[in-house]
Amino acid sequence: MTDGDTGARDDAGPDRSTVLLRGGLAVVLLAAVGATGGWILAGEDDPPATPPAAAEALPSTGTPGAARSTPGRSVPPAPRTTAPSRSAGLTVPALVGEDFKDARDELREKRLGWRLVFGSGTGTTVERTSPEVGAEVQPGRTVTLWVSGPAPAATVPDVVGDDCDDAADELVDEGFYPQYRTGRTGTVSRQDPAGDGAGRWNDQVSLWCGAAPDDDGSASPTP
């Protein structure tokens, strides 16, 4: 009696797992071939590349997360503020070319002082001023006037017996300058040069106010 062969034979054929593995590879190859055929039929030369990840959009200012401006819409500019302009105030009037007497009166109307500097030429017109024409000045500022010719002749007014302030105003109006010998209050008891005498513009006239002068020219109290 011979023994029966009940086990599986080694040469019965390839292992089942090997068969399954080969079958799976075949399926993958067929799928790849089919896909390649699809690209060719579609007219594509190269297979589509994997789409890149979407890049984060940044605003033009370079600040992430900032709102982007809508095309076609203009952003209104920031309002501009204008500082209030400073007032020009009082300025030296256009006096060049005017007669110096008219220029002096115009300065007086504007509550400005004046100083006359006479020249060696001819005429009585203003050649220049200091401060210059158009310069901003404050009330009471003295403006110097340069006159083309020499100081003209003038008659000294008689102010004896007048109030000292009134006498000074009259002298200034006529082109003279008062010089106070005994103060600026009271009545003028004496003047030098005497009234109705000859003089020139810018000459000084001495006044004795509030006291009678002695023979030596000094003042003594009025009784």
Q: How far apart are CA 210 and CA 191, in angstroms?
A: 12
14 backbone dihedrals φ, ψ, rounded to 5°: -65, 150
Question: Would you state the pLDDT for residue 24?
Answer: 52
Question: Would you state the pLDDT for residue 153?
Answer: 97
Question: Would you state the pLDDT for residue 222?
Answer: 42
Query: Of all residues in the chain, what percent carry a pLDDT higher than 90?
Result: 54
DSSP state of 206: E
Question: Would you state the pLDDT for residue 187?
Answer: 97
- Where does residue 169 fall: left (phi above 0), alpha (psi -120 to 50 degrees), or beta otherwise? alpha
For residue 71, say if its preceding peptide bond is cis, omega within 30 degrees of 0.
Answer: no
Expressed in percent and rounded to 5, the helix, strand and coil fractions of the chain are 20, 25, 55
Q: What is the mean pLDDT of residues 124-140?
A: 96
Domain boundaries of the chain, sorted by first residue:
92-147, 153-214
Residue 50 has pLDDT above 60, yes or no: no
Which CATH fold topology does 153-214 show?
Trypsin Inhibitor V; Chain A (3.30.10)
Share the mean pLDDT of the chain. Answer: 74
Indicate if 153-214 has the same CATH topology as 92-147: yes
| Class in CATH terms, 92-147 | alpha beta
**In contact, 116 and 100? CB cutoff 8 Å:** yes
Task: Read off the pLDDT of residues 31-41 as tens digits, 9 standing for 90 and up.
Answer: 444 444 443 33
Higher pLDDT, 28 or 107: 107
How many CB atoms are located within 10 Å of the residue 103 CB?
Answer: 24
Question: Would you state the pLDDT for residue 213?
Answer: 58
Nearest to 210 by CA among 180, 191, 183, 178: 183
Task: Read off the pLDDT of residues 65-122 as tens digits, 9 standing for 90 and up.
Answer: 444 444 444 444 544 544 444 544 899 999 999 999 999 999 999 999 999 999 999 9
